[in-house]
């Protein structure tokens, strides 16, 4: 393409923020407590009008409209209240990336985001001294449709723009011309060859409403030229598809990557935890029972995929920083999805509540299958009346800060001396709660139901006066008698109408 204007700056380094907008954090279900960053190669810089090449052999090229800060005077160890003085200008940017390489990059984003032309910038600059950094607007269009809009107000940004300058200057000298890409709002998704992406940054309330102008780039097909003898090939899975498109639904995937198929859920609802535990033991898995927890209401059946929340032991200074506001506990209850079980690690400490009626209401509204906590529950009777299945160590009136600090979520935890990984299958009944590795769930429940069918036949024979020897389990003639019974009374498959 000819007559393409060059980028308006020539940075020595390009530094990008992982997550900065609350809308993006909500989309991903992850809220960073502090900013985190990655580097993009200066050779990825491009101007408005330059084509975006999607290499052959890749599928998930995604745009991210962002606000770019251009450093004016070098910054080293600058305090927050002076950081904006080191910003010369702001402009529009597009932090492009190929999700086909994100897993291989393991967080560095080197392959996925540093390809030539993957940081379009411009076309013009806004004088940073002429605008309020908390009053900028970012908009992105794809083929003329507005797909992203975000503002830099305190309500929308997790961190003020100046904080990125102050923070980074603690670790490196930000030099004149360096560029900081400040994160994208919700709306980023996959683009295809032929799509035109436009990004604009402006200050609509400032005198003259200064604007960067529209940064416009068109996606085109290009050669892949990937050589597996010198490096990794692109590769994708459903997690990358969901992140690239912005949601599982947009990627054509189930709404919840942990969602249980209905047939599996139906079978698990018929299977007792005692039988499931026995089948897991046959497979060498002994520590799969969440010890010490019981249902609030006798007769409760709990089935779902695990989401996790971890509490650390109470410490006053950490509770000051992690206990207030929209903390990890509230985020976990706010983002639990239909059919999921929120499993809480509270170190088997019953002397404080790990949830109450408001959180139970939120989980119920979200369609959660239930909650398992190896700690206590406050508002115990109110929670019971809500009807959400809850398994715990019992009631306790104390608030969270007495024993616990809400720390993080969606990671492997220890609940009731059992390891629980997000996506594990959780089943609870009056006997307690068991954890089933997702990969084993289908075979474990099928074998459990088969064994229950056999045990029902055995129970009938015992009720008729049969001796246990040779009958429990059935061997010899009893085994043959059961096989004859089985031929006429096959094991039913719940939820399918099949046998």
Q: Which residues are annotated as a binding site?
A: 356-359, 378-379
Whole-number Å distance between alpha carbons of 405 and 195: 47
Give the residue among 441, 456, 422, 449 at the shortest CA–CA distance from 283: 441
Give the residue among 258, 336, 306, 287 at the shortest CA–CA distance from 427: 306
Whole-number Å distance between alpha carbons of 97 and 150: 20
The length of the chain, given as a count of residues: 499
The sign of the torsion formed by the CA atoms of 54, 55, 57, 63 equals negative
Whole-number Å distance between alpha carbons of 417 and 345: 9
CB 347 within 8 A of CB 313: yes
Tokens of 48: 């408005």
Give the residue among 353, 493, 383, 369 at the shortest CA–CA distance from 428: 369
Whole-number Å distance between alpha carbons of 81 and 427: 53
CB 412 within 8 A of CB 370: no
Report CA 435 to chain centroid distance, whole Å. Answer: 21
Which residues carry a binding-site annotation for substrate?
356-359, 378
Give the residue among 9, 39, 37, 244 at the shortest CA–CA distance from 120: 9
Whole-number Å distance between alpha carbons of 309 and 91: 39
Give the residue among 285, 284, 349 at the shortest CA–CA distance from 313: 349
Helix (H, G, I), strand (E, B) or coil at 348: coil
Whole-number Å distance between alpha carbons of 294 and 310: 19
For the chain, counts of helices (H) and of strands (E): 14, 26
Whole-number Å distance between alpha carbons of 288 and 310: 18
CB 126 within 8 A of CB 259: no
Tokens of 105: 């990059």
Tokens of 12: 């020595």
Tokens of 444: 């474990």
Pairing of strands 390-392, 294-295: antiparallel
Whole-number Å distance between alpha carbons of 128 and 410: 39
Which residues carry a binding-site annotation for Mg(2+)?
379
């Amino acid at each position: 393409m000819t007559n393409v204007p060059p980028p308006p700056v020539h940075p020595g380094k390009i530094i990008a923020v992982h997550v900065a907008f609350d809308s993006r954090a909500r989309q991903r279900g992850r809220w960073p407590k502090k900013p985190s960053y990655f580097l993009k190669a200066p050779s990825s810089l491009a101007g408005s009008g330059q084509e975006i090449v999607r290499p052959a052999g890749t599928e998930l090229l995604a745009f991210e409209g962002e606000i770019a800060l251009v450093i004016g005077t070098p910054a080293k160890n600058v305090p927050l209240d002076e950081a904006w003085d080191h910003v010369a200008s702001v402009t529009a940017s597009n932090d492009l990336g190929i999700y086909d390489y994100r897993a291989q990059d393991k967080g560095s984003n080197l392959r996925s985001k540093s390809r030539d032309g993957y940081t379009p910038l411009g076309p013009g600059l806004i004088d940073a001294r002429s605008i309020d950094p908390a009053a900028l607007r970012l908009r992105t269009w794809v083929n003329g449709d507005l797909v992203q809009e975000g503002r830099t107000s305190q309500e929308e940004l997790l961190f003020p723009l100046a904080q990125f300058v102050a923070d980074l200057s603690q670790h490196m000298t930000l030099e004149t011309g360096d560029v900081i890409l400040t994160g994208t709002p919700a709306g980023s998704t996959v683009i295809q060859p032929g799509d035109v992406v436009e990004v604009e940054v402006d200050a609509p309330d400032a005198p003259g409403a200064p604007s960067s102008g529209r940064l416009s780039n068109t996606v085109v097909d290009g050669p892949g030229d990937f050589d597996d003898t010198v490096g990794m090939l692109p590769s994708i899975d459903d997690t990358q598809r969901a992140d690239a498109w912005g949601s599982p639904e947009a990627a054509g995937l189930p709404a919840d990557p942990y969602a249980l198929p209905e047939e599996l859920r139906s079978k698990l609802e018929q299977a007792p935890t005692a039988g499931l535990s026995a089948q897991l033991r046959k497979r060498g898995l002994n520590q799969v029972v969440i010890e010490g927890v019981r249902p609030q209401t006798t007769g409760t059946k709990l089935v779902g995929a695990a989401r996790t929340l971890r509490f650390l032991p109470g410490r006053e200074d950490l509770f000051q920083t992690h206990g207030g506001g929209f903390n990890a506990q509230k985020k976990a209850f706010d983002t639990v999805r239909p059919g999921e079980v929120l499993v809480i690690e509270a170190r088997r400490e019953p002397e404080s509540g790990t949830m109450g009626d408001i959180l139970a209401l939120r989980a119920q509204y979200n369609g959660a299958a239930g909650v398992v906590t190896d700690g206590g529950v406050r508002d115990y009777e109110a929670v019971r009346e809500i009807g959400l299945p809850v398994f715990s160590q019992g009631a306790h009136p104390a608030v969270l800060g007495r024993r616990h600090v809400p720390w993080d979520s969606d990671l492997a935890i220890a609940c009731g001396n059992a390891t629980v990984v997000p996506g594990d299958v959780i089943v609870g009944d009056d006997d307690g709660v068991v954890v089933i590795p997702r990969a084993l769930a289908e075979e474990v429940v099928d074998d459990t139901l088969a064994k229950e069918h056999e045990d029902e036949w055995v129970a009938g024979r015992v009720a008729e006066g049969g001796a246990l020897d040779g009958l429990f389990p059935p061997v010899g003639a009893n085994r043959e008698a059961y096989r004859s019974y089985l031929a006429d009374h096959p094991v039913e498959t719940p939820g399918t109408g099949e046998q």
